[in-house]
């Protein structure tokens, strides 16, 4: 048993400097730092993300360690309408690897009046303040697949996507729907090459991958106004032009839970507080979550997340 920290003192000092840089960045822009609870009565419904559950001694319903501060921050946004940011701890069960730790650090911020392109520009400013100036490149999701794989992700059939994936990878007897093959192509074929020496933004995802972003018509297909940032093959940030429609949000929660049941997963309670906040009125805004640990890995040159954590999952 090794009781000592996994990260060395230099990395711990670099984390402190990084957090100070982030706070200076937002202070200069009059963005308010906030703090929200880690334990809440509602867990995320997304079938691909599992929260940790905490039992309560008084017989009350279990609480969930938050996978992101998003829901609570949107409630603050609906109440006050002010730009806000948070440096938060987040928790996701089962996510363990070279770039994943079940407990990790997130920077999340929301900008009323920003669309997702304007927020991308601010994300680039922040990351450049940390890593140094880099050229920014932007591709729509569709452009990326067309240019790199000669494939239109909005019109290709499941069979076509599977065929292209099998030319690049050996997925064995894997089978699934269109989104499964798109995710496989993105994560295993495209992502490792993105942001080499640049800040690479991918935006306007298929509507089926909109998550909590708005869906709008574009050309011959609807798109989710969502973006991701890649640097040196690492997915660093995920942002949205935020959905403000409470009825649509409830429908998405219900679809998530229906999908969870088909996959043998338990349903998650819907966050009625968030839906009430959306009913009250969320200002037109964009928000983004950025992985602090991954950003620190880029600062230090670390290849494993444990090298930038004082105590990784195996030491706590």
Residue 240: its pLDDT value, please?
A: 96
d(CA 204, CA 218) in angstroms, rounded, equals 9
Other C-beta atoms lying within 10 Å of the C-beta of residue 197:
10
- Residue pair 194/233 in contact (Cβ under 8 Å)? The answer is yes
Radius of gyration of the chain (CA): 20
- Residue pair 191/230 in contact (Cβ under 8 Å)? The answer is yes
What residues pair up with 223 in beta bridges, in sequence order? 206, 216
Taking CA 183 as the corner, what is the angle to CA 269 and CA 305, rounded to the nearest 5 degrees? Answer: 80
Task: Report how far Cα 148 is from the mean position of its chain's Cα atoms.
Answer: 23
Strands 198-206 and 63-65: unpaired
Distances (CA, A) of 310 to 75, 96, 103: 32, 16, 12
- Identify the residue whose tokens are 């998405």: 252
Is the pTM above the cut of 0.75?
A: yes
- Residue pair 205/239 in contact (Cβ under 8 Å)? The answer is no
DSSP output for 206-229? EGGG-TTB-EEEETTEEEEEEEEE
Residue 57: its pLDDT value, please?
A: 77
- Identify the residue whose tokens are 């020496």: 197
Residue 220: its pLDDT value, please?
A: 84
What residues pair up with 40 in beta bridges, in sequence order? 64
What residue spans define the domains of the chain? Answer: 9-134+234-315
User: Which residues are CB-contacts of 21 (< 8 A; sequence separation ≥ 6)?
Assistant: 129, 130
Structure tokens at 59: 């017989």
Closest CA to 108 of 286, 300, 304, 307: 286
Residue 67: its pLDDT value, please?
A: 95
Residue 221: its pLDDT value, please?
A: 87
d(CA 185, CA 143) in angstroms, rounded, equals 14
Sign of the torsion angle spanned by Cα atoms 55, 270, 70, 191: positive
> For the domain 9-134+234-315, what is the CATH code?
3.30.930.10
Structure tokens at 34: 């906030």
- Residue pair 143/310 in contact (Cβ under 8 Å)? The answer is no
Residue 62: its pLDDT value, please?
A: 84
One digit per residue, pLDDT tens: the chain, 316 residues? 789 999 999 999 999 999 999 999 999 999 999 999 999 988 889 888 999 988 887 777 889 999 999 999 999 999 999 999 999 999 999 889 999 999 999 999 999 999 999 999 999 999 999 999 999 999 999 999 999 999 999 999 999 999 988 998 888 888 788 998 999 999 999 999 999 999 999 999 999 999 899 999 987 889 999 999 999 999 999 999 999 999 999 999 999 999 999 989 888 999 999 999 999 999 999 999 999 999 999 999 999 999 999 999 988 8
Longest dimension (CA), the chain: 58
Residue 170: its pLDDT value, please?
A: 83
């Amino acid at each position: 048993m090794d009781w000592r920290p996994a990260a060395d003192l230099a990395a711990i000092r670099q984390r402190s400097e990084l957090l100070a840089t982030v706070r200076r960045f937002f202070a200069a822009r009059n963005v308010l730092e906030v703090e929200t609870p880690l334990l809440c009565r509602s867990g995320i419904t997304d079938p691909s993300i599992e929260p940790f559950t905490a039992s309560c001694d008084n017989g009350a319903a279990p609480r969930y360690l938050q996978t992101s501060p998003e829901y609570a921050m949107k409630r603050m946004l609906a109440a006050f309408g002010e730009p806000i940011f948070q440096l938060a701890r987040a928790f996701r069960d089962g996510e363990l690897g070279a770039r994943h730790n079940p407990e990790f650090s997130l920077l999340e911020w929301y900008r009323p009046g920003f669309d997702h392109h304007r927020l991308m520009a601010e994300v680039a400013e922040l990351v450049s303040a940390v890593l140094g100036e880099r050229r920014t490149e932007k591709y729509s999701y569709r452009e990326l697949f067309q240019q790199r794989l000669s494939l239109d992700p909005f019109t290709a059939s499941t069979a076509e996507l599977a065929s292209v994936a099998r030319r690049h990878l050996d997925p064995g007897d894997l089978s699934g729907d269109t989104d499964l093959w798109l995710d496989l192509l993105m994560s295993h074929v495209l992502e490792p090459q993105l942001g080499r020496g640049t800040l690479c933004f991918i935006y306007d995802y298929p509507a089926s991958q909109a998550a909590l972003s708005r869906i709008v018509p574009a050309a011959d297909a609807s798109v989710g106004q969502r973006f991701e940032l890649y640097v040196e093959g690492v997915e660093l940030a995920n942002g949205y032009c935020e959905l403000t429609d409470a009825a649509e949000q409830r429908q998405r929660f219900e679809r998530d839970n229906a999908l969870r049941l088909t996959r043998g997963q338990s349903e998650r309670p819907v966050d009625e507080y968030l839906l009430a906040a959306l009913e009250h009125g969320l200002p037109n805004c964009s928000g983004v979550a950025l992985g602090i640990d991954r950003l620190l890995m880029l600062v230090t040159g670390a290849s494993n997340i444990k090298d930038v954590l004082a105590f990784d999952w195996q030491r706590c």
